[in-house]
């Protein structure tokens, strides 16, 4: 089967059976799973293809707040989300002497925005979303080798000889997206790719992330507290920062970031892939093992004490690329999450923005007419990028500020000084800006907003499914 980009089938919808577009999602990360969950609830056919043979329990912890609460409530998983999360109301900024420098407090979010913030481990969040996808819709071990994206459909070919065709292709396959690379290659040959999109992904930091096995409060006293103890540490003498989080599973999620200079950038530039092997992770562990941490008790601990309780095969070392691409779609192919925007994790908004992408894209796909042609699909993709781009750009800039604050440069010290002494109204304004975009799913029962700060305008919330539009038209004629 070949997809000719110059041929678009002409549909006479008045005589054709009502057919929703079939969506192929490449990548079973949080963004891809969220989109799959929403398409399933909309009754839109979809399949998810993941290159890995199995999902490893890698990663540390993630932060979610009111900006995703409505999504979880609409999908009926908010209570389960609360059961795997731990409330967090502050980030404690500490130094290498185990002293608290200052605290960034964001208590009271429930009154302001309707819900508070929670720390959830990545493996737990992944399992929660997987449970929402019917069996048989996630296909593991499917490494995409080629993509056909044309006027009459999309076609993927995988390394094992597997082929699949559909109407829409979604690249949710991460920073080094195969979908994006294939799409950009064709756009570049046609002179339709912005020069900046053709440049390699820039990165200034490297992350080591992991999570211990369950511990007791005797081993790590902070675990006895109901609220997550989220601590960030800064070493003014070395190019590192590190963090610890207590979780609802009585584990301690931890990580360390290396800030690259000219020399270390050259050393790491050879690894233009999303992650290194176990040996590289262990090597970095040796360099940071003596970094001091606070446990909440009298014990004098270092990162090595957490490493001793962490399975070696669950420690990951990854590059932290930072870029917002200008091209998010073409014809029947569209990108979401890290495939089109990659943030530094210091801002804690990567997963949230991938889910926001999925909400808006699902709303617009659900609003497509039956048997949509390429022009109608591309128009929906354009509306998706137009709604999301300003919020993505704002999150990107915020993440850069958080990354700078954790560094050792003059700008880093200045940023910390400002954060330490900023009046409460300044911090509230920052919080309002960060939490005002709280998108909802247009085709599920809406959640009443209870926060004092009203949500920002969401254009895709007004999009109706074709059957809804048809019913509205019929009702209007009847009247």
Confidence of residue 15 (pLDDT cuts 50, 70, 90): very low
Phi, psi of 146 (to 5 degrees): -145, 155
Q: What is the pLDDT of residue 13?
A: 52
**How much is the average pLDDT of 68-73?**
98
**How much is the average pLDDT of 234-263?**
88
Specify the higher pLDDT residue, 408 or 7: 408
Confidence of residue 287 (pLDDT cuts 50, 70, 90): very high
Contact residues for 458 (Cβ-Cβ < 8 A; gap 6+): 360, 387, 437, 439, 440
Confidence of residue 166 (pLDDT cuts 50, 70, 90): very high
Q: What is the pLDDT of residue 5?
A: 45
Q: What is the pLDDT of residue 265?
A: 58
Largest CA distance in the chain: 76
What is the per-residue pLDDT across 400-434, written as a single tens digit (0 to 9) for each? 888 878 877 888 888 888 888 888 888 888 888 88
Inter-axis angle of helices 424-435 and 66-74, nearest 10 = 30
Confidence of residue 389 (pLDDT cuts 50, 70, 90): very high
Radius of gyration of the chain measured on its C-alpha atoms: 23
Q: Residue 12, SS3? A: coil
Q: What is the pLDDT of residue 387?
A: 98
Question: In sequence order, what E strands does 235-336 have?
Answer: 240-246, 252-259, 292-293, 301-302, 316-321, 323-324, 329-330, 333-335
- Report the CATH superfamily, name and number, of domain 23-87+112-200+323-472: FAD/NAD(P)-binding domain (3.50.50.60)
Q: What separation in angstroms does the CA of 333 have from each of 113, 156, 184, 187? A: 34, 11, 11, 12
Average pLDDT, the chain: 88
The CB density around residue 131, as the number of other CB atoms within 10 Å, is 11
Of 35-39, 94-98, 308-312, 415-419, the range with the lowest mean pLDDT is 415-419
**Sequence-ordered alpha helix ranges (H) in 75-189:** 78-84, 109-113, 122-130, 178-189
Q: How far is CA 8 from the centre of its chain?
A: 34
**Domain parsing of the chain, residue ranges:** 23-87+112-200+323-472, 203-321
Contact in structure between 208 and 268 (CB atoms under 8 Å): no
Q: What is the pLDDT of residue 281?
A: 87
């Amino acid at each position: 089967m070949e997809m000719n980009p110059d041929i678009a089938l002409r549909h006479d919808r008045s005589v054709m059976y009502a057919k929703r577009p079939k969506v192929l999602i490449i990548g079973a990360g949080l963004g891809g799973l969220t989109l799959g969950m929403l398409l399933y609830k909309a009754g839109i056919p979809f399949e998810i293809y993941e290159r890995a043979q199995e999902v490893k329990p890698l990663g540390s912890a993630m932060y979610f707040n009111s900006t995703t609460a409505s999504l979880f409530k609409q999908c009926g998983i908010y209570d389960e989300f609360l059961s795997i999360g731990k409330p967090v109301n502050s980030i404690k900024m500490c130094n290498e002497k185990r002293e608290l420098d200052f605290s960034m407090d964001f208590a009271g979010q429930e009154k302001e925005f309707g819900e508070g913030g929670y720390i959830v481990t990545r493996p737990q969040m992944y399992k929660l979303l997987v449970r929402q996808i019917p069996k048989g819709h996630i296909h593991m071990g499917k490494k995409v080798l080629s993509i056909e994206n044309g006027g009459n459909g999309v076609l993927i070919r995988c390394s094992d000889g597997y082929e699949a065709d559909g109407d829409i292709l979604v690249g949710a396959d991460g920073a080094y997206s195969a979908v994006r690379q294939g799409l950009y290659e064709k756009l570049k040959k046609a002179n339709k790719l912005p020069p900046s999109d053709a440049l390699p992904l820039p990165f200034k930091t490297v992350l080591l992330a992991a999570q211990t096995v369950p511990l007791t409060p005797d081993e790590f006293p902070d675990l006895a507290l109901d609220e997550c103890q989220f601590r960030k540490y800064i070493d003014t003498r070395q190019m590192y920062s590190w963090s610890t989080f207590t979780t609802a599973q009585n584990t301690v999620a931890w990580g360390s970031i290396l800030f690259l200079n000219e020399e270390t950038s050259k050393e790491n530039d050879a690894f233009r892939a999303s992650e290194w092997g176990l040996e590289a992770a262990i090597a970095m562990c040796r360099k940071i093992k003596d970094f001091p941490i606070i446990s909440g008790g009298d014990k004098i601990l270092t990162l090595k004490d957490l490493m001793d309780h962490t399975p070696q095969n669950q420690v990951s070392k990854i590059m932290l690329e930072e870029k917002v691409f200008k091209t998010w779609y073409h014809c029947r192919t569209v990108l979401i999450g890290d495939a089109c925007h990659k943030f530094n994790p210091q801002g804690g908004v990567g997963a949230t923005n991938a889910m926001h992408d999925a909400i808006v894209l699902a709303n617009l796909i659900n609003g497509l007419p039956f048997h949509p042609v390429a022009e109608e699909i591309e128009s929906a993709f354009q509306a998706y990028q137009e709604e999301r781009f300003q919020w993505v750009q704002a999150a990107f800039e915020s993440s850069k500020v958080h990354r700078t604050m954790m560094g050792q440069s003059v700008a880093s010290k200045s940023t910390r000084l400002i954060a330490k002494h900023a009046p409460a109204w300044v911090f509230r304004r920052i919080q309002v800006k960060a939490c005002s975009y709280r998108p909802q799913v247009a085709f599920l029962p809406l959640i009443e907003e209870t926060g004092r700060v009203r949500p920002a305008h969401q254009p895709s919330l007004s999009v109706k499914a074709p059957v809804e539009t048809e019913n509205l038209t019929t009702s209007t004629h009847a009247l």
